Amino acid sequence: MESSESSDLAGDLLTLYGRIRRTTLVGKVDEVTASQSAALGRLIRDGATTTADLARAEGVRPQSMGATVQALVDLGLADREPDPEDGRRTIVHATDAGRAARDESHRVRTRLLAERLAALEPDDRATVARSLAILRTLVEP
CATH number reported for the structural domain that contains residue 82 in this entry: 1.10.10.10
Comparing CA positions, the residue from 75, 69, 77 lying closest to residue 97 is 77
Tens of pLDDT along 5-22?
999 999 999 999 888 888
Averaged confidence pLDDT in the chain: 91
How many domains, the chain? 1
pLDDT of residue 28: 61
Domain holding 76, by residue range, is 3-139
Tens of pLDDT along 21-50?
888 876 565 678 888 988 999 999 999 999
pLDDT of residue 34: 81
| pLDDT classification of 78: cutoffs 50, 70, 90 | very high
Q: Kindly give, in sequence order, each residue whose CB lies less than 8 Å from that of residue 51, ignoring residues fewer than 6 positions away.
A: 62, 65, 66, 69, 90, 92
CA distance 37 to 33: 6
Position with higher pLDDT, 1 vs 122: 122
pLDDT of residue 97: 96
Rounded (5°) CA angle 83-87-93: 20
Confidence check: pLDDT of 105 > 70:
yes
